[in-house]
Amino acid sequence: MDYARLTDAAADAAADAIADALAGNVRGIAVATSGSTGQPAEVLVSADALRASAGATAAHLGAEGHWLLALPTDRIAGAMVVVRARVAGACLVGVGPGAFTADAFAATADRLPGDGPRLTSLVPTQLKRVMDSPHGADALASFATVLVGGAALGFEPPANVVRTYGLTETAGGCVYDGVPIGDTAVRVDDQGRVLIAGSCLADAYRPERPDAWAEHDGLRWLVTSDLGEWASDGRLRILGRVDDVITTGGFKVNPRTVEHALDTQEWVKDCAVVGVPHPEWGEAVVAFVVPTALDQMRKLHELRTSLKPLVARHELPRELVVVETLPRLTTGKVDYRTLRSVAANVERNTP
């Protein structure tokens, strides 16, 4: 029995594939990963994993409800919105095709039934657009829970937002606000890499990747490409990706650490950090910054000075690239591959 491919972002197409999986007509669904830092792959997620993920979400949130669909359903985050609504027998209303806007979100929210909790899942860029619109903010406040994942937040969200962490390989979010949900188990190994086990795990990759799985304590674990740590309150904190670590002058730099420091600067609206080859240092730390306004821009030496109290000397950016927007994938994640290509071709300007 094969897996139904999610090859169309249209909600109806995904709903048909998901219905086939939940009815037992196919083994599950085949979902493409985003390819944000590597080559895209196809992940095979069983119907049992879909149900386990949906059940864990409902149990953690303490309720089932009606869902607003604002994400493409050929990716796991959008597909899981369809799954949760179908498993709960709840209403599902989609924003529809075209560019996502706060007004479209608010109009779709008005179409949801009023006899139960309202739930939705967004990426950070969508959430920010809705928050910045009075009409959108009013609609957002009517939701019991807003799941937000796919990228780190560079702003303080409303109280009804739940920050999620998960992958296609875990049938979407499996850690909510730093806490594993359902029977999800999380380990952080000696190198800081995050490993995940539980009923939500996918069956396999196509083509298979044996190195992605490990056996430990009688459990099957997904070996992720993410770095993490346990915070003092016992919650999981994701630090970035293994492949993103920059080696400069013999030191390791986690780009997310530098991004968090950049986010504290009032003139920085959005940012991303990558590493590019450098003849002297091995790699150079490059900061891409979207300024709040053109007259608020800073020069590289000014930026380095302001960041010195926040990061180690070797973590300070050696190059600054000011852009109007950051390139993003359809999932809302920053397209780091494109940024590395851009950084590799900008005029060298290092201290």
**CA 80 – CA 84 distance, rounded (Å):** 6
Short-list 268, 256, 249, CA closest to 351: 249
Domains 3-239 and 245-345 share a fold: no
Q: Tell the residue number behind the tokens 């005029």, with chain if given.
A: 347
| Cis, peptide link before residue 124, omega less than 30° from 0 | no
Sheet arrangement for strand 268-278: 268-278, 282-291, 319-322
Per residue of the chain (351 residues), what is the pLDDT tens digit? 699 988 766 667 788 899 999 999 999 999 987 554 455 679 999 999 999 999 999 999 998 899 999 998 988 999 999 999 999 999 999 998 888 999 999 999 999 998 889 999 999 889 999 999 999 999 999 999 999 987 777 688 999 999 999 999 999 999 999 999 999 999 999 989 999 999 999 999 988 888 899 998 899 999 999 999 999 999 999 888 888 889 998 888 989 889 989 999 999 999 999 999 888 888 999 999 999 988 878 899 999 999 999 999 999 999 999 999 999 876 677 888 899 988 888 754 444
**Residue 163: predicted pLDDT:** 96
Alpha helices in the chain (DSSP H): 11-23, 47-61, 76-88, 102-109, 124-131, 134-141, 255-263, 300-307, 336-345
Its pTM stands at 0.81
Cβ–Cβ under 8 Å, residues 74 and 9: yes
Q: What is the sign, positive or negative, of the torsion defined by CA atoms of 310, 314, 319, 323?
A: negative
Fold of 245-345: GMP Synthetase; Chain A, domain 3 (3.30.300)
Burial of 179 (0-12, 13-18, 19+ CB in 10 A): middle
**CA 118 – CA 124 distance, rounded (Å):** 19
- The CATH class of the 3-239 domain is alpha beta
**Residue 113: predicted pLDDT:** 93
**CA 67 – CA 15 distance, rounded (Å):** 13
**Residue 294: predicted pLDDT:** 81
**Residue 36: predicted pLDDT:** 45
List the domain boundaries for the chain: 3-239, 245-345
CA distances from 68 to 39, 56, 65, 210 (A): 30, 19, 10, 37
What are 125's two structure tokens? 């860029």
